[in-house]
Structure 1
Amino acid sequence: MQFRESQAIYLQIADYVCERILLKEWKPGERVPSVRELAVQLEVNPNTVMRSYDFLQQQEIIQNQRGIGYFVAPEALQQALHYRKDAFLEKELPQVFRNMYLLGMNTEELKPRFDHYKKQHFA
């Protein structure tokens, strides 16, 4: 995984977990990789993954079952959608709007490109 310098790594890992849930690769009730497994997979310190998992528990996206591991929470899809949507609207969209304004673009120009992107990547 390529990490960006503009955001804390533990939040990027939380976004990664949310993406797996939103893409329905990890379903409610399923076990998620252990802290060590995900740390090895993403090549990060296990403490960083633990911080991500703590954050995701606070967001009610994953649950810890003592002695067994971490699992996708029953309402994880809705919680992950809410978390990611809020983050997008607050952090990313203002920059998109700024760039659109500077480039003299409007939303009508984006719709065909968005539709094409969805067909290519999520058909």
Structure 2
Amino acid sequence: MNEVTVGGMRFELDLSQPLYEQVLDQVRSSIAKGEIALGEKIPSVREMAQALKINPNTVMRAYQELERDQLTETRRGQGTFITADAEKVKHIRYKLAEEAVEEFLAKLGSLGFTASEIAAILRSKGGEGQ
């Protein structure tokens, strides 16, 4: 895995996973974390593809998905910009958090933990990550 920074976003691509999904997830994550400001211009498809050393069609697919989610908007002749709508970003942050919680619960469930055991683990770790 190689780490690359493009337009203020950090990318770490794993060639064993679908690249378009990784680009999409990592841009979403950068937006949710505030690493990219609302209304900020992001690199063009070509710039992103060259920096990540991947096919421009892969980047285009990820950008199209971001636009469908209304996280970006393309302005003719100007480029692609992060939405200026803070509510959209808040929504994606909560969506990403829900996905992380679901993955966490599924993982602990597969290890045989019950809901009460998981709750006890969370209580014992409360506040440690802050």
For the criterion TM > 0.5, the same-fold answer is yes
After superposition, the CA RMSD in angstroms is 2.6
Which structure carries more relative contact order (alpha carbon 8 Å, separation 6+)? 1
Cα deviation 1:42-75 (Å, max 9, x = unaligned): 2321110000000000000000011111000122
Corresponding pairs, count: 115
More helix by share: 1
After TM superposition, list the pairs within 5 Å mapping 1:58-69 onto structure 2. 58-69=68-79
Match status 1:2 vs 2:13: yes
Match status 1:17 vs 2:27: yes
After TM superposition, list the pairs within 5 Å mapping 1:80-99 onto structure 2. 80-85=92-97, 87-88=99-100, 92-93=103-104, 95-99=106-110
Correspondence for 1:51: 61
Cα deviation 1:11-53 (Å, max 9, x = unaligned): 2211111111111111111101111222223232111000000
Correspondence for 2:7: none
Correspondence for 2:122: 110
The answer (yes or no) to whether the contact 1:31–1:69 under 8 Å persists in 2 is yes
More strand by share: 2
Q: Which amino acid aligns with 1:30?
A: E
Give the TM-score of the pair, scaled to structure 2.
Answer: 0.70
How far apart, in 1, do the equivalents of 2:76 and 2:65 lie?
A: 17
The answer (yes or no) to whether the contact 2:108–2:118 under 8 Å persists in 1 is no
